[in-house]
Amino acid sequence: MPDPMTSSPDHPTPQPVPPAPAQQQRGAQQPRSRPPQPRNQPQQQQWADVSVVIPLYNEEGSLKELNQQLRSTLGRMNIRYEILYIDDGSTDHSFQILRDLKRNDRHLKVIRFRRNYGKSAALAVGFEKAQGNVVITMDADLQDDPAEIPSMKRRIEEGYDLISGWKKVRRDPISKTIPSRFFNYVTGVLTGIKIHDFNCGLKAYRREVVKSVKVYGELHRYIPVLAHWEGFRIGEMVVQHRARKYGKTKFGLGRFWKGFLDLLTALFTTRFLRRPLHLFGPIGLFLTLAGSVIDLWLVIEWIRGLTSLGNRPLFLAGSMLIVIGIQFISLGLLGEMISKTRATAEEYSIREFLK
Ligand code: UDP
Ligand code: MG
pLDDT at 10 over 50: no
pLDDT digits (tens, 9 = 90+) for 310-325: 889 999 999 999 999 9
- pLDDT in the model for residue 216: 86
- pLDDT in the model for residue 254: 81
Instruction: Please answer whether residues 188 and 194 qualify as being in contact, where contact means their C-beta atoms are separated by less than 8 angstroms.
Output: yes
* Residue 251 in contact with ligand 1 by CB distance below 6 A: yes
Kindly give the number of the ligand 1 atom that is closest to the alpha carbon of 56.
Answer: 11
pLDDT at 205 over 80: yes
* Residue 255 in contact with ligand 1 by CB distance below 6 A: no
CA of 144 to the centre of ligand 2 (A): 8
- pLDDT in the model for residue 348: 75
- Closest-approaching ligand to the CA atom of 118: 1
**Percent of the chain surpassing pLDDT 90:** 68
- Closest-approaching ligand to the CA atom of 119: 1
By the CB criterion, residues less than 5 angstroms from ion ligand 2 are: 139, 141, 143
CA of 98 to the centre of ligand 1 (A): 17
Gap between the Cα atoms of 67 and 241, Å rounded:
17
- Name the region of 118 (left: φ>0; alpha: ψ -120 to 50; beta: rest): left
Domain boundaries, the chain: 48-272, 277-340
Query: What is the residue-wise DSSP string for 258-301?
Result: HHHHHHHHHHIIIIITT-THHHHHHHHHHHHHHHHHHHHHHHHH
* Residue 119 in contact with ligand 1 by CB distance below 6 A: yes
* Residue minimizing CA distance to atom 17 of ligand 1: 250
pLDDT band at residue 74 using 50, 70 and 90 as cut-offs: very high
What fold is seen in the domain 48-272?
A: Spore Coat Polysaccharide Biosynthesis Protein SpsA; Chain A (3.90.550)
